[in-house]
Chains A and B, each alone.
Chain A
Amino acid sequence: MKKPSPQSLEKMLDELFEIMPELKKNKSDWKNFIVKFIESRPNDKIDAKFKRALHEEILGKIAQQKSAEKPSRRKNLWIGSLWFLGGAAVTAVAVVPMLDSPEILEMQKTETVADATPISAKNPAIFSGESEENLDEVAAVSLEKTMENLAVVNIAESADNAFGTVKKTASNAGISSDAAYGRGGGMRMESSIAPMPGLGGRTNVDYIFDGELPDFAEKINVFKKMSDATVRPSFKNQIEKLGMGRVDLTTFENLEIQNVSLAENVDELGFFMNVDFQTGSIDINANYEQWHPPCFGEACYQPIPMSELPEDRTIIRWAEIFLAEHKVSTENFGKPIIQKYWEHLKTSPLPEYVPETMRVVFPYLIGDDTAISQWGEPFGMNVQVNLKKERGSGLYLASLNLQSSRYTALSNEEVLEMAKTGGSDGVRYSNPQKTIEIKLINPEIKLTQITIWNDTGKMVEFFVPTLIFKTEIPENTQFYVPQQIVVPLAKDLFAN
């Protein structure tokens, strides 16, 4: 056992002699005694693995508490409020009618950014080197306070049918690899397009549902992603320094910092990150060389067998701990989901090994619903988890600035008619040689991301309540059948 330091020993002796001065005459005996006493201390070093596990448990508890304390409001009404990384002022204005020009919105936000002041003079500016006296000149506040004010999902309400009817172009066929197989694009097949594999000739498929549809409202909210809606922080006073004394950057006009790349200066398990102010995204990736140091020989290749895949709750907890460690709020997100590619592809048998890194998706909460991508996968904040290191190893988080508008929903008859022809991804021959039937089952309403190119060639992204039907694929079927049929419920939103 460790001996006491001389200073510590002297202090203990002095304390003893202070109370009982008569002991001082045998100082060496008492010194020896205290040394032996201290040396008899049992091995009380805490086990490193236990210490780390307890720390993780504590962080998990913190993450749970934060989730439980989520405020009751889920919909963030963005009524002219601001979101940006460097500022904290939230300006409320009257409800804004839908503006056609994102540029107008951008101008408003930029002006208000310049007026923002730090919440606390003691909070450091994002760019170091600023003295406290200069803080008032910098439109920056502590990241912690910013995150408290930052909403990832912002929604501005607009008038009914505000987006009009969006006409899709034929180029939509190229969006998804499944477009030719009825999973994207909403295109009508003509003779120039190859027939559906395995059906033999020009065959149409009628998708039939004979059950009961779930209830939905007569008017539904459709959300449109606003383009280029992220506010840039104002770093006017910092621009000069970025020239490193070699170029006077102030001689250029209206410079904006569009993105920042950062790297952790650590010896192991470091991260690279990119903050993009244009898209409002933060992309954090493991420093590959530190996470996977060079290794040679077969012993270095140790894949994880499927049988050793940790439980879902363990993987999710590692993701939550990573978020808690880096103060990432899970407000605006629904229950996390682990992406297991083998479930999506329905591979059989199961793969022998699992990837070292898996993705946990925290789907966006838009209004009261979680969003799914147009391919049926959860859509939101992605956390990478390294199964060997048992911790988070990356994060992608982007803001979602939306406008909402109410549209009349399809009637039940209209839903079934659209489903019959393959939904929004329907692929039909105008002169089929034959028509076959596929049964639809288990309809569910989900808020689905739908990305299309409009007739001006511009990509537009919507989140639309959709009815998703599963297809009942016949046994021994020799041709491709899509796993689901998607019917957007908003009437008059899309036109072919």
Chain B
Amino acid sequence: MDESIFIKNCQRGNLEDFSPLYEKYAQKIFAFVLHKTFDRETAEDLTSQIFLKTLEKIESYNFQKSQFSTWLYSIARNCVIDHFRTQHFEKNIDDIWDLNSGDDARKCAEKSLNFESLQKSMKKLKPAQREILTMRFWQDLSYAEIAEITDQSEANVRMIVSRSVRAMKKDFLAFLLFSLIF
């Protein structure tokens, strides 16, 4: 069934129809948050906040302005940003990729070889580039969706992705090859 029916029912006060929306997006939002925080407990806390906030604000969602998914992702993104601000996190959200060994990111990634290689390459990129890459390749969001969530043009998003991929490729594949040989 079209999700717009559930959304409209929620807006009419039948909030029980929030359940199918939750079922549809719970995994995606959790993954989105985890990719930004690399900490499961934090990701779970933030996911809870995000859905409870969405439930509160669903009346204000405007079908004309955006897709529901991008609206939800925007709420998620803002929650993560607020989390780092309110936690007075010494390293901000953009520095997650600089975490040292033994950190949650590595644990979260199950010490995957690929992740270590990726981490080195991603560190060289700007925060906006890293965010967009993970949204495209890990969350499989379209350029249009990413543009809406990050409040920029689609053309700009495409350009960022292309340049980032080119910048990363050399380091990423070289390290991978090195690791495979030795």
Binding site for B on A (CB under 8 A): 1, 8, 12, 15-16, 18-20, 23, 29-30, 32-34, 36-47, 50-51, 54-55, 57-59, 61-62, 65-66, 144, 324-325, 327
Select which of A34, A54, A325 is within 8 A of B137 by beta carbon: A34
Q: State A342–B41 Cα separation when bound (angstroms).
A: 40
Q: Does B161 contact A (CB under 8 A)?
A: yes
Report yes or no: A46 in contact with B27, Cβ–Cβ below 8 A. yes
Binding site for A on B (CB under 8 A): 14-16, 18-19, 22-23, 26-27, 30-31, 34-35, 38, 40, 44, 47-48, 51-52, 55, 105, 108-110, 112, 114-115, 117-118, 133, 136-138, 140, 143, 158-159, 161-162, 165-166, 168-169, 172-173, 176
Q: A23-B166, A58-B51 are in contact. Are A40 and B112 (CB under 8 A)?
A: yes
Q: A37-B137, A40-B109, A45-B27 are in contact. Are A54 and B51 (CB under 8 A)?
A: yes
Min CB–CB distance A158 → chain B (angstroms):
35
Report yes or no: B22 in contact with A42, Cβ–Cβ below 8 A. no
List the B side residues contacting A62 at CB < 8 Å.
15-16, 18, 55
Report yes or no: A43 in contact with B108, Cβ–Cβ below 8 A. yes
Report yes or no: A42 in contact with B115, Cβ–Cβ below 8 A. yes
Among the interface residues A15, A34, A41, which one has the most CB atoms of the partner chain B within 10 A?
A41
Report yes or no: A40 in contact with B140, Cβ–Cβ below 8 A. no
List the B side residues contacting A38 at CB < 8 Å.
137-138
List the A side residues contacting B47 at CB < 8 Å.
46, 54
Report yes or no: A40 in contact with B115, Cβ–Cβ below 8 A. yes
Other 8 A-B pairs with CB < 8 A, given A19-B161, A33-B172, A327-B14: A33-B173, A36-B172, A40-B112, A43-B108, A46-B31, A54-B44, A57-B48, A325-B19
Q: A33-B165, A42-B115 are in contact. Are A58 and B22 (CB under 8 A)?
A: yes
Report yes or no: B112 in contact with A44, Cβ–Cβ below 8 A. no
Among the interface residues A15, A34, A54, A144, which one has the most CB atoms of the partner chain B within 10 A?
A54
List the A side residues contacting B158 at CB < 8 Å.
15, 18-19
Min CB–CB distance B94 → chain A (angstroms):
18
Select which of A37, A44, A144 is within 8 A of B35 by beta carbon: A44
List the A side residues contacting B159 at CB < 8 Å.
19
Q: A29-B169, A36-B114, A40-B114 are in contact. Are A325 and B162 (CB under 8 A)?
A: no
List the A side residues contacting B165 at CB < 8 Å.
16, 30, 33-34
Can you give 10 contacting A-B residue pairs, CB < 8 Å?
Answer: A15-B161, A36-B114, A40-B112, A41-B35, A43-B108, A44-B30, A46-B31, A46-B47, A47-B40, A47-B44
Report yes or no: B27 in contact with A37, Cβ–Cβ below 8 A. no
Q: State A351–B178 Cα separation when bound (angstroms).
A: 67
Min CB–CB distance B110 → chain A (angstroms):
6
Q: State A16–B162 Cα separation when bound (angstroms).
A: 6
Closest residue to B159 on the A side, CB-wise? A19
Among the interface residues A39, A42, A62, which one has the most CB atoms of the partner chain B within 10 A?
A42
Q: State A39–B109 Cα separation when bound (angstroms).
A: 11
Q: State A47–B41 Cα separation when bound (angstroms).
A: 11
List the A side residues contacting B31 at CB < 8 Å.
44, 46
Q: State A61–B58 Cα separation when bound (angstroms).
A: 14
List the B side residues contacting A65 at CB < 8 Å.
15
Q: State A386–B48 Cα separation when bound (angstroms).
A: 25
Report yes or no: B172 in contact with A58, Cβ–Cβ below 8 A. no
Q: State A7–B93 Cα separation when bound (angstroms).
A: 32
Q: State A465–B15 Cα separation when bound (angstroms).
A: 37
List the B side residues contacting A144 at CB < 8 Å.
14
Closest residue to A40 on the B side, CB-wise? B114
Select which of B19, B162, B173 is within 8 A of A19 by beta carbon: B162
Q: State A57–B19 Cα separation when bound (angstroms).
A: 11
Select which of B26, B118, B137, B169 is within 8 A of A46 by beta carbon: B26
Q: State A30–B137 Cα separation when bound (angstroms).
A: 13
List the A side residues contacting B166 at CB < 8 Å.
20, 23
Min CB–CB distance A122 → chain B (angstroms):
11
Q: A29-B173, A34-B137, A37-B137 are in contact. Are A43 and B44 (CB under 8 A)?
A: no
Report yes or no: B16 in contact with A1, Cβ–Cβ below 8 A. no
